[in-house]
């Protein structure tokens, strides 16, 4: 029995097409705390490498080449690295774990679970950069999505498959508004990318925004601000890839990314480290060019019937609405919601500046009476804002202009319609009914 097994085993080895491959390794030639240069190995961009011995070294990702050297960026923290330390590839570039195995889990930018629930088993794989789609494979946005916020449901109606940006300066209420929308939105799967934000907000978001039943159908990719810029970009790509895989199964996915600006900041760090020239506000061209590639991956798929409704927060540095990231995102998104610091200072929450916000698909997904009532409210608000200084100074005499009189009369109702408690939820039907009831005759 043993002799027969040995003979069969040796015969199999002799017939096998066995080609031994050498273990690829290079040497560390330069390191300045973030950017590394290695010699002696040729690897594709995106490959993850181990620098130094396992346990004492760090992981780094190949980001480019220069003068025959391979450029890598540190994915971990500080380590006791020395010149000529070995650099070995540990994994092929560009794949993310996806599928139902990730539901209810929290992973980092490299896909490692950080929720103390053990390893992720049975996951499928999807390219980090996504699969290129034809424009004709993208369906139109024709079905409204209830997000539970009266001002958005009524005045900036969002549709399934739409890409929307929440734009504001720091501390105006982006994350609170995002939480209100996550709690109320009806979706098969919720994918949340917390990119470049405070570590404290990760646990807070999990406990307050996606608690209970929502947690079981959600996937969270958390890469706080103190992580490597490469990991921050990988986190954004990973969250989008996970959403794409669920859409490919025909599911309705809500993708939340907080924030798109931190992704651009990570791209800026990498671009400047590679020697790219800084252009607008210090952003190299590659950092801004990366945003459309990321945003365009969301949307509907006519082949599977699935859809990714994407909501991105965009931080306007210095409350500047013409910031390069804000301007680039606004040009590619299907709508944007602008939050006003002035409204927040007057305790109007959510502080949505209706006059500067728009949903580019609202006329396709809302009924005509609803659209007309929203236009009436906008007209009254615009008239009031144009003449606000005259009214407050007492320079306007009542009865001089019927449009101004109507705007002044309706202004309390307008503010009441926008204002909503953070723990309250107003359905799409209720918001439309209230809007038509108050402003439908205007």
| pLDDT, position 6 | 54
Q: What is the pLDDT of residues 133-145, one digit of tens each?
A: 888 888 899 999 9
pLDDT value for 86: 92
Phi first, then psi, for residue 62 (nearest 5°) are -70, 125
What letter would DSSP give residue 321?
A: T
* Residue among 279, 183, 297 at smallest CA distance from 236: 297
Q: Give the chain's domains with CATH numbers.
A: 23-89 (2.40.10.170), 95-365 (3.40.50.12240), 369-440 (1.20.1270.330)
pLDDT in tens, 398-435: 888 899 999 999 999 999 999 999 889 999 999 999 99
pLDDT for the residue 401: 87
Q: 3-class secondary structure for 48-106?
A: EEEECCCCCCEEEEEEEEECCEEEEEECCCCCCCCCCCEEEEEECCCEEEECHHHCCCE
Confidence (pLDDT) at 397: 84
Distances (CA, A) of 440 to 429, 436, 437: 15, 4, 6
Q: Could you give the 3-state DSSP secondary structure of residue 366?
A: coil
The answer to whether 27 and 50 have CB atoms below 8 angstroms apart is no
For residue 159, count other CB atoms closer than 10 A to its CB.
24
Give the pLDDT of residue 280: 73
Q: What is the pLDDT of residue 361?
A: 93
**What pLDDT score does 2 carry?**
53
Q: Which residues of the chain have pLDDT under 50?
A: none
pLDDT of amino acid 14: 55
pLDDT in tens, 17-67: 555 555 678 999 998 877 899 999 888 888 888 898 877 788 888 988 888
């Amino acid at each position: 029995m043993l002799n027969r097994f040995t003979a069969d085993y040796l015969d199999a080895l002799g017939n096998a097409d066995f080609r031994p491959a050498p273990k690829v390794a290079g040497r560390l030639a330069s390191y300045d705390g973030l950017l590394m240069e290695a010699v002696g190995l040729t690897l594709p961009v995106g490959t993850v490498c181990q620098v130094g011995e396992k346990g004492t070294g760090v992981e780094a990702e190949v980001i480019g080449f220069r003068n025959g050297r391979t450029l890598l960026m540190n994915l971990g923290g500080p380590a006791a690295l020395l010149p000529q330390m070995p650099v070995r590839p540990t994994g092929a570039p560009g794949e993310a774990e996806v599928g139902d195995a990730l539901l209810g889990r929290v992973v980092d930018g490299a896909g490692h679970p950080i929720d103390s629930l053990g390893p992720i088993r049975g996951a499928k794989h999807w390219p980090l950069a996504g699969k290129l789609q034809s424009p004709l494979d993208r369906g139109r946005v024709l079905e409204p999505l209830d997000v539970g916020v009266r001002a958005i449901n009524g005045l900036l109606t969002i549709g399934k498959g739409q890409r929307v940006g929440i734009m504001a300066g720091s501390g105006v209420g982006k994350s609170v508004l995002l939480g209100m929308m996550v709690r109320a939105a009806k979706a098969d799967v919720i994918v949340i990318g917390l990119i470049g934000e405070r570590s404290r907000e990760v646990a807070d978001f999990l406990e307050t925004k996606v608690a209970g039943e929502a947690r079981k159908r959600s996937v969270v990719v958390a890469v706080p601000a103190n992580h490597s810029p490469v990991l921050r970009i990988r986190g954004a790509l990973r969250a989008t890839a996970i959403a794409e895989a669920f859409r490919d199964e025909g599911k309705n996915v809500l993708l939340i990314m907080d924030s798109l600006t931190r992704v651009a900041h990570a791209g800026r760090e990498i671009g400047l480290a590679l020697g790219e020239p800084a252009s607008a506000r210090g952003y190299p061209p590659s950092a801004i060019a990366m945003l459309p590639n990321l945003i365009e991956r969301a949307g509907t798929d006519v082949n599977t019937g699935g859809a990714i409704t994407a909501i991105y927060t965009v931080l306007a540095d210095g409350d500047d609405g013409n910031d390069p990231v804000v301007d680039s995102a606004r040009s590619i998104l299907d709508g944007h919601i602008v939050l006003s610091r002035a409204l927040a200072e007057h305790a109007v929450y959510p502080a949505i500046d209706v006059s500067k916000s728009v949903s580019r698909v609202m006329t396709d997904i809302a009924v005509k009476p609803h659209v007309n009532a929203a236009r009436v409210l906008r007209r009254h608000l615009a008239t009031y804002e144009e003449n606000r200084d005259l009214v407050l100074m007492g320079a306007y005499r009542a009865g001089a202009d019927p449009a101004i009189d109507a705007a002044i009369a309706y202004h309390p109702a307008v503010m009441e319609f926008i204002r909503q408690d953070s723990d309250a939820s107003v359905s799409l039907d209720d918001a439309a009914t209230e809007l038509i009831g108050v402003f439908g005759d205007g």
